Every structure is written in structure tokens, then in C-alpha cells.
């Protein structure tokens, strides 16, 4: 039996990589690709795939929104694909059989695919699929702290190590990462970014700015209670009075 598989990701390069990996599998039949959540909902309704590799973050309708839109019909097996480890737990709450954390290697892909194919065969044979809690227990040791950010640049994805970032500022629904003489726009709010960063890696110093403590050269206290922060690269930032409690995190207690 061939497992009819749908690829859903808004990044063309990500779809291409999944397609190449899946085309090498004799037991897989790729029935289509979708570039956004609305296309995915229509394709799943029309084609009834056995398995879907589903990106979590997509414009307009994300991966979880796709599943919500299909809540009243039989569901295919889902392997979530995400750059954000925080989505792993929620993936299992909606009965994903596995998830791939970008960037994943071929070994991790093979492990997820083997598991999904086993579940598909069990489902076709009328057997119970493996409880999701057991899958989560197996995957938990593989999680690791976030140490870099994926930034889309044209048709490419650039990985920016957190240690290389000097400071970050809010730009509406984006954040601008300042890395030496370069800057990168990341489609995420500052609040959302702060939630998923390791504690102390980038520290909030105002409503719109975070700074890398390792990039601070000197600090000067201001009369109104705030602080002027000068970075190694010469940039000058202001820690507002409201955020004075963050001084110990900056090593400036």
C-alpha cells in the first residue's frame, strides 16, 4: 500500500526539500503541495490524503487553523513542521503523530516518516493508533533550547545565532534584528519573540527594544531614572525607568 501524502508549507524551499525526501520513499505517493492554509483545507477535503506534512506558521490560516477548519470530518495523520519548539506540545494536543523541528536532518525526517507510516498501516488495518502521550515521551529528550532564529530573505532562509545579535527593536508586526552592520526583519512581534527565548539571552529594556547583555560596553544612569546603554558596536540604547528591574539580568545590578 502506498501512503497518499500532501505537503503544506508557505516556503517554496521547504516544500522542495520535503518533496525530495519523500520522492525517495517507495511507500509514499505525493498527491500535491499547498502554499497556504486555505489551499490545504481545500486539498484535504477534496483528496482525503492519508498523511499530511503541515507547516505550523503560515499567513492568514496557520497549521492549527487548518485542523480546526476540518474538525467535523475524518482527519489524515499529521506531521507538523515548525521552526519553533514551543508548538510541539500543542501539536500533540491536536493529535499530530510527530513533528519536525526546522532545521531537521534526514535522520530525524526518517524517524518521523517511519512512525507516520506505521500509524498509517495500523489505521488502515483498523488498529488503534499509538497514544500521543507515548510519542511525546519519546520526543521530549530531543528538545533543545532555542539558539538561533530563522529569517526569510527573499527565496532563502538565513539562520541567525542569538549570540550574534546586538539588539532587537519592534517594527509593527515584525522585529528588526541588528547583527553587526547588518539587520534582518523577522515576522514576529517582540512579545512573541520574548516568550520563546531562553531567559537572559536577550533582555527587554523598553517596550520596543531588547538587548544582548554580552554586547554591552558601558552604562550611564540618567536623571529621570533610566539608563543609557552603549554597545560594543557603538550603538546607544535607552533602558526606560519602567524596566529598571532588568538591570541584574544585564549584569548591571
The set of cell numbers assigned to 222 is 540618567
Q: 112-131: per-residue pLDDT in tens?
A: 899 888 888 877 776 555 44
**How high is the pLDDT of residue 253?**
54
**How high is the pLDDT of residue 35?**
93
Domain boundary among 113, 142, 171: 142
Nearest of 235, 160, 245 to residue 206 by alpha carbon: 245
Q: Kindly indicate the confidence band of residue 141, based on its pLDDT and cuts at 50, 70 and 90.
A: very low
Nearest of 132, 127, 131, 97 to residue 115 by alpha carbon: 97
Domain identity same for 117 and 159: no
**How high is the pLDDT of residue 127?**
58
Domain identity same for 160 and 229: yes
Domain identity same for 101 and 164: no
**Average predicted confidence (pLDDT) for the chain:** 83
Torsion of CA 137, 51, 25, 88, to 10 degrees: -30
Q: Kindly indicate the confidence band of residue 95, based on its pLDDT and cuts at 50, 70 and 90.
A: low
Q: Kindly indicate the confidence band of residue 140, based on its pLDDT and cuts at 50, 70 and 90.
A: very low
Domain identity same for 225 and 185: yes
Q: What is the largest CA-CA distance in the chain?
A: 74
Residue 213 structural domain: 148-250
**How high is the pLDDT of residue 142?**
44
**How high is the pLDDT of residue 156?**
67
Amino acid at each position: 500500500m502506498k501512503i497518499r501524502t500532501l505537503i503544506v508549507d508557505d516556503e517554496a524551499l521547504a516544500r522542495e526539500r520535503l518533496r525530495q525526501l519523500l520522492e525517495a520513499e517507495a511507500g509514499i505517493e505525493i498527491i500535491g503541495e499547498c502554499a497556504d492554509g486555505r489551499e490545504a483545507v481545500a486539498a484535504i477535503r477534496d483528496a482525503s490524503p492519508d498523511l499530511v506534512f503541515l507547516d505550523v506558521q503560515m499567513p492568514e490560516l496557520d497549521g492549527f487553523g487548518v485542523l480546526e477548519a476540518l474538525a467535523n470530518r475524518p482527519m489524515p495523520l499529521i506531521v507538523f513542521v515548525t521552526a519553533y519548539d514551543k508548538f510541539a506540545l500543542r501539536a500533540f494536543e491536536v493529535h499530530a503523530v510527530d513533528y519536525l523541528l526546522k532545521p531537521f536532518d534526514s535522520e530525524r525526517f526518517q524517524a518521523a516518516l517511519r512512525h507516520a507510516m506505521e500509524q498509517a498501516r495500523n489505521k488502515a488495518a483498523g488498529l488503534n493508533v499509538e497514544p500521543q502521550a507515548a510519542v511525546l515521551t519519546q520526543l521530549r529528550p530531543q528538545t533543545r533550547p532555542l539558539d538561533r532564529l530563522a529569517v526569510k530573505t527573499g527565496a532563502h532562509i538565513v539562520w541567525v545565532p542569538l549570540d550574534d545579535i546586538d539588539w532587537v527593536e519592534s517594527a509593527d508586526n515584525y522585529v528588526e534584528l541588528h547583527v553587526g552592520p547588518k539587520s534582518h526583519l523577522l515576522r514576529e512581534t517582540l512579545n512573541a519573540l520574548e516568550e520563546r527565548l531562553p531567559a537572559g539571552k536577550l533582555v527587554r529594556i523598553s517596550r520596543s527594544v531588547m538587548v544582548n547583555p554580552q554586547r554591552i560596553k558601558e552604562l550611564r544612569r540618567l536623571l529621570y531614572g533610566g539608563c543609557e546603554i552603549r554597545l560594543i558596536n557603538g550603538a546607544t540604547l535607552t533602558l526606560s525607568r519602567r524596566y529598571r528591574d532588568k538591570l541584574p539580568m544585564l549584569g548591571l545590578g
